Amino acid sequence: MSSVAAWETFPFEGDLQVKCLQPPVLPDPDCNGEAGPEGCTVCRRPLSEALWADEDWRLDAVGAESRLPAVVMLQPRGHHDLSDLPTERAAELGPLLQRVERAILSLDGVARVHVNRWGDGGAHLHIWFLARPAGMLQLRGTFLLVWEEILPPIPEAERRQAHREIATALATEGGTAYAR
């Protein structure tokens, strides 16, 4: 293992081996929604499943359970990725990132919000927000998403309460809270 195993935030201990790299798969395979909105799971998801939405954006919970105080995704309602996001939507994105972060920071016990954008799973732009619990210094930084996979789930009532609080906070500046 490289020195990454010595990081304070590295979630594992004991003997671990780095996997061998497999040869490239070319051409790189399509991801969900790459062919257009018809096959896109985000475009087909009803608005009633969102936590919050306005005319152009929606915020959704990620997964059926959570191991952090909040794990949510901001997505445009139109089928766009970052590189083809219309100019108006792109201009809205900065203020929206701030709004979502403020809404999550308003939860009790949240110290930081990590904002991530990957794109290997879906071609419909989706921006992750992961709440890092206050005082949990081992959960700082890039391994937070790994910790989200391995910590015990938080109680469902707490998870839903956090969703309602985030949605309500967002709706004070516009849009509709759908979280129940």
User: Shortest gap between Cβ of 98 and Zn ion (angstroms)?
Assistant: 24
First to last CA, the chain: 45
Considering only residues 48 through 107, tell me which ones interact with Zn ion, judged by CB under 5 A.
Answer: 79
Comparing CB distances to Zn ion, the nearer of 79 and 89 is 79
Q: How far is the CB of 84 from Zn ion (least distance, A)?
A: 12
- Give buried/exposed letters for 99-131 (b at 16+ CB in 10 A, else e): bbbebbeebeebebbbeeeeeeebbbbbbbbbb
Q: How near is the Cβ of 10 to Zn ion at its closest, in Å?
A: 35
Contact flags string 101-140 toward Zn ion, x per CB under 5 A: -----------------------x----------------
Q: 3-42 mask for Zn ion (x: CB under 5 A)?
A: ------------------------------x---x--x-x
- Cβ-count burial of 179 within 10 angstroms (0-12 exposed, 13-18 middle, 19+ buried)? buried
Nearest by Cα to 43 from 29, 53, 33, 54: 33
Closer of 107 and 123 to Zn ion (Cβ)? 123
Of the pair 11, 37, the CB lying nearest Zn ion is at 37
If we measure between CA atoms, which residue out of 75, 50, 52 comes closest to residue 125? 75
CA atoms of 167 and 178, how far apart (whole Å): 7
# of chain residues touching Zn ion (CB under 5 A): 7
Long-range contacts: 34-39, Cβ < 8 Å, 24+? 34/123, 36/79, 37/79
Q: Which is nearer to Zn ion, 33 or 175 (CB)?
A: 33
Interface residues with Zn ion (CB under 5 A) are 33, 37, 40, 42-43, 79, 124
